[in-house]
Amino acid sequence: MLNYIKKLSYFFIESIVLFLVILSFLLLKTTLSINQNWIIVLLIISFCLVLIIKIQIKKWNRFRILHFSIKKVDKMTGIEFENFLLTYFKSLGCEAQTTKASNDYGADLILEYKKRKISVQAKRYQGTIGVKAVQEVIGSMAYYNTDCGLVVTNSYYSKNAEELAFANNVILWDRDVLIQMMNHENMTGYLSEFL
Protein backbone atom coordinates (compact mmCIF):
# COMPACT_ATOMS: atom_id res chain seq x y z
CA MET A 1 0.00 0.00 0.00
CA LEU A 2 2.84 2.37 0.89
CA ASN A 3 4.55 1.78 -2.49
CA TYR A 4 1.26 2.48 -4.28
CA ILE A 5 0.91 5.81 -2.44
CA LYS A 6 4.51 6.75 -3.30
CA LYS A 7 4.01 5.94 -6.99
CA LEU A 8 0.77 7.88 -6.99
CA SER A 9 2.43 10.92 -5.39
CA TYR A 10 5.30 10.84 -7.93
CA PHE A 11 2.81 10.57 -10.76
CA PHE A 12 0.90 13.49 -9.24
CA ILE A 13 4.07 15.65 -9.01
CA GLU A 14 5.06 14.83 -12.58
CA SER A 15 1.53 15.54 -13.80
CA ILE A 16 1.47 18.92 -12.07
CA VAL A 17 4.85 19.89 -13.54
CA LEU A 18 3.77 18.80 -17.01
CA PHE A 19 0.42 20.58 -16.66
CA LEU A 20 2.11 23.82 -15.57
CA VAL A 21 4.57 23.66 -18.45
CA ILE A 22 1.81 23.06 -21.01
CA LEU A 23 -0.33 25.79 -19.47
CA SER A 24 2.55 28.26 -19.62
CA PHE A 25 3.13 27.35 -23.29
CA LEU A 26 -0.50 27.97 -24.09
CA LEU A 27 -0.43 31.29 -22.25
CA LEU A 28 2.75 32.30 -24.03
CA LYS A 29 1.33 31.35 -27.40
CA THR A 30 -1.86 33.34 -26.88
CA THR A 31 -0.18 36.41 -25.40
CA LEU A 32 2.89 36.43 -27.63
CA SER A 33 3.24 35.53 -31.24
CA ILE A 34 5.59 32.58 -30.94
CA ASN A 35 6.24 30.45 -33.98
CA GLN A 36 6.03 26.67 -33.89
CA ASN A 37 9.79 26.14 -33.70
CA TRP A 38 9.90 27.81 -30.30
CA ILE A 39 6.99 25.75 -29.07
CA ILE A 40 8.79 22.56 -30.09
CA VAL A 41 11.94 23.75 -28.30
CA LEU A 42 9.94 24.57 -25.18
CA LEU A 43 8.23 21.17 -25.26
CA ILE A 44 11.61 19.46 -25.50
CA ILE A 45 12.88 21.52 -22.57
CA SER A 46 9.80 20.65 -20.53
CA PHE A 47 10.22 16.96 -21.34
CA CYS A 48 13.84 17.19 -20.15
CA LEU A 49 12.72 18.91 -16.94
CA VAL A 50 10.22 16.16 -16.19
CA LEU A 51 12.91 13.56 -16.90
CA ILE A 52 15.39 15.33 -14.59
CA ILE A 53 12.77 15.51 -11.82
CA LYS A 54 12.05 11.80 -12.25
CA ILE A 55 15.76 10.92 -12.04
CA GLN A 56 16.22 13.09 -8.94
CA ILE A 57 13.26 11.46 -7.22
CA LYS A 58 14.73 8.04 -8.01
CA LYS A 59 18.14 9.10 -6.61
CA TRP A 60 16.51 10.50 -3.48
CA ASN A 61 14.58 7.27 -2.92
CA ARG A 62 17.75 5.22 -3.33
CA PHE A 63 19.61 7.48 -0.87
CA ARG A 64 16.73 7.28 1.59
CA ILE A 65 16.51 3.48 1.34
CA LEU A 66 20.25 3.07 1.84
CA HIS A 67 20.08 5.07 5.05
CA PHE A 68 17.28 3.13 6.74
CA SER A 69 17.75 2.08 10.33
CA ILE A 70 17.19 -1.49 11.49
CA LYS A 71 14.01 -0.27 13.22
CA LYS A 72 12.68 0.82 9.83
CA VAL A 73 13.61 -2.58 8.36
CA ASP A 74 11.71 -4.28 11.21
CA LYS A 75 8.53 -2.46 10.14
CA MET A 76 8.79 -3.42 6.45
CA THR A 77 6.63 -5.97 4.72
CA GLY A 78 8.32 -8.94 3.09
CA ILE A 79 8.16 -7.34 -0.36
CA GLU A 80 9.48 -4.02 0.95
CA PHE A 81 12.39 -5.93 2.52
CA GLU A 82 13.12 -7.63 -0.82
CA ASN A 83 13.08 -4.24 -2.59
CA PHE A 84 15.32 -2.78 0.12
CA LEU A 85 17.83 -5.60 -0.44
CA LEU A 86 17.58 -5.21 -4.22
CA THR A 87 18.44 -1.50 -3.97
CA TYR A 88 21.11 -2.21 -1.39
CA PHE A 89 22.90 -4.87 -3.44
CA LYS A 90 22.72 -2.77 -6.60
CA SER A 91 24.33 0.13 -4.72
CA LEU A 92 27.21 -2.22 -3.86
CA GLY A 93 27.86 -2.93 -7.51
CA CYS A 94 26.08 -6.27 -7.69
CA GLU A 95 23.95 -7.11 -10.65
CA ALA A 96 20.67 -7.87 -8.94
CA GLN A 97 17.20 -8.83 -10.05
CA THR A 98 14.05 -10.03 -8.36
CA THR A 99 12.43 -13.34 -9.15
CA LYS A 100 8.70 -13.90 -9.62
CA ALA A 101 6.66 -12.91 -6.56
CA SER A 102 5.05 -16.34 -6.32
CA ASN A 103 6.52 -19.69 -7.32
CA ASP A 104 10.00 -18.20 -7.05
CA TYR A 105 11.62 -21.62 -6.50
CA GLY A 106 13.10 -20.48 -3.20
CA ALA A 107 14.92 -17.30 -4.23
CA ASP A 108 13.69 -13.74 -3.94
CA LEU A 109 16.73 -12.19 -5.65
CA ILE A 110 19.49 -13.39 -7.95
CA LEU A 111 22.83 -11.60 -7.57
CA GLU A 112 26.00 -11.60 -9.60
CA TYR A 113 29.03 -10.44 -7.64
CA LYS A 114 32.67 -10.97 -8.63
CA LYS A 115 31.71 -13.61 -11.21
CA ARG A 116 29.65 -15.51 -8.63
CA LYS A 117 25.94 -16.08 -9.07
CA ILE A 118 24.04 -16.08 -5.77
CA SER A 119 20.46 -17.05 -4.87
CA VAL A 120 19.08 -14.80 -2.14
CA GLN A 121 16.20 -15.62 0.19
CA ALA A 122 14.96 -12.53 2.08
CA LYS A 123 13.28 -13.20 5.44
CA ARG A 124 11.91 -10.16 7.23
CA TYR A 125 10.72 -11.89 10.35
CA GLN A 126 10.26 -11.44 14.09
CA GLY A 127 10.94 -14.98 15.28
CA THR A 128 13.84 -17.36 14.82
CA ILE A 129 14.43 -18.49 11.24
CA GLY A 130 14.38 -22.28 10.92
CA VAL A 131 15.59 -24.76 8.32
CA LYS A 132 12.75 -24.02 5.87
CA ALA A 133 14.40 -20.80 4.62
CA VAL A 134 17.70 -22.62 4.11
CA GLN A 135 15.95 -25.51 2.34
CA GLU A 136 14.22 -23.03 0.02
CA VAL A 137 17.45 -21.34 -1.01
CA ILE A 138 19.16 -24.74 -1.48
CA GLY A 139 16.38 -25.67 -3.90
CA SER A 140 16.79 -22.38 -5.74
CA MET A 141 20.52 -22.93 -6.26
CA ALA A 142 19.89 -25.83 -8.66
CA TYR A 143 16.96 -24.16 -10.40
CA TYR A 144 18.75 -20.83 -11.02
CA ASN A 145 22.17 -22.50 -11.48
CA THR A 146 23.84 -20.38 -8.80
CA ASP A 147 27.18 -20.90 -7.08
CA CYS A 148 25.86 -20.41 -3.57
CA GLY A 149 22.87 -19.31 -1.55
CA LEU A 150 22.38 -16.40 0.82
CA VAL A 151 19.61 -16.01 3.38
CA VAL A 152 19.26 -12.49 4.77
CA THR A 153 17.10 -11.75 7.79
CA ASN A 154 16.47 -9.03 10.33
CA SER A 155 16.24 -11.82 12.92
CA TYR A 156 18.39 -14.82 13.96
CA TYR A 157 18.73 -18.46 12.87
CA SER A 158 18.12 -21.69 14.71
CA LYS A 159 21.07 -24.04 15.30
CA ASN A 160 19.58 -26.51 12.81
CA ALA A 161 19.35 -23.80 10.14
CA GLU A 162 23.01 -22.87 10.72
CA GLU A 163 24.12 -26.51 10.43
CA LEU A 164 22.12 -27.09 7.24
CA ALA A 165 23.47 -23.88 5.71
CA PHE A 166 27.07 -24.80 6.53
CA ALA A 167 26.67 -28.24 4.92
CA ASN A 168 25.17 -26.81 1.71
CA ASN A 169 27.23 -23.74 0.76
CA VAL A 170 24.61 -21.30 2.05
CA ILE A 171 25.68 -18.03 3.67
CA LEU A 172 23.54 -16.70 6.51
CA TRP A 173 23.24 -13.01 7.29
CA ASP A 174 21.47 -12.54 10.60
CA ARG A 175 20.41 -9.31 12.25
CA ASP A 176 23.94 -8.50 13.45
CA VAL A 177 25.52 -8.93 10.00
CA LEU A 178 22.72 -6.92 8.39
CA ILE A 179 23.28 -4.06 10.87
CA GLN A 180 27.04 -4.19 10.22
CA MET A 181 26.46 -4.02 6.47
CA MET A 182 23.98 -1.17 6.81
CA ASN A 183 26.31 0.87 9.04
CA HIS A 184 29.65 0.24 7.34
CA GLU A 185 31.04 3.16 5.31
CA ASN A 186 33.09 1.12 2.82
CA MET A 187 30.32 -1.36 2.12
CA THR A 188 31.69 -2.67 -1.19
CA GLY A 189 35.02 -3.74 0.31
CA TYR A 190 33.25 -5.02 3.39
CA LEU A 191 30.85 -7.09 1.29
CA SER A 192 33.69 -9.36 0.13
CA GLU A 193 34.14 -10.53 3.72
CA PHE A 194 30.56 -11.77 3.84
CA LEU A 195 30.13 -13.31 0.37
Helix or strand or coil: residue 149? Answer: strand
Regarding whether 136 and 89 lie in a shared domain, the answer is yes
pLDDT band for position 1 (cuts 50, 70, 90)? very low
Whether 100 and 50 share a structural domain = no
- In this prediction, residue 2 has a pLDDT band, given cuts at 50, 70 and 90, of very low
CB 14 within 8 A of CB 51: no
**Residue where one domain finishes, among candidates 13, 32, 66:** 66
pLDDT of residue 48: 78
Total number of domains constituting the chain:
2
| Same domain, yes or no: 47 and 95 | no
Q: 174 and 97 in one domain?
A: yes
Q: Are residues 134 and 118 in the same domain?
A: yes
End-to-end CA distance of the chain: give it in Å, rounded: 33
Give tens-digit pLDDT for 9-24.
666 666 777 777 777 7
What is the reported pLDDT for 152? 96
**Are residues 123 and 178 both part of a single domain?**
yes
Q: Which of 44, 66, 88 is the last residue of a domain?
A: 66
44 and 113 share one domain: no
Q: Give the integer Cα–Cα distance in Å for 5 and 63.
A: 19
Tell me the pTM.
Answer: 0.69
Strand partners, 121: 151
Let me know whether 77 and 108 are in one domain.
yes
Domain with 42, as residue range(s), is 2-66
Percent of the chain with pLDDT over 90: 42
Q: Are residues 141 and 123 in the same domain?
A: yes
For residues 48 and 139, membership in a common domain is answered with no
Among the candidates 66, 86, 103, a domain finishes at 66
What is the average pLDDT score of the chain? 81
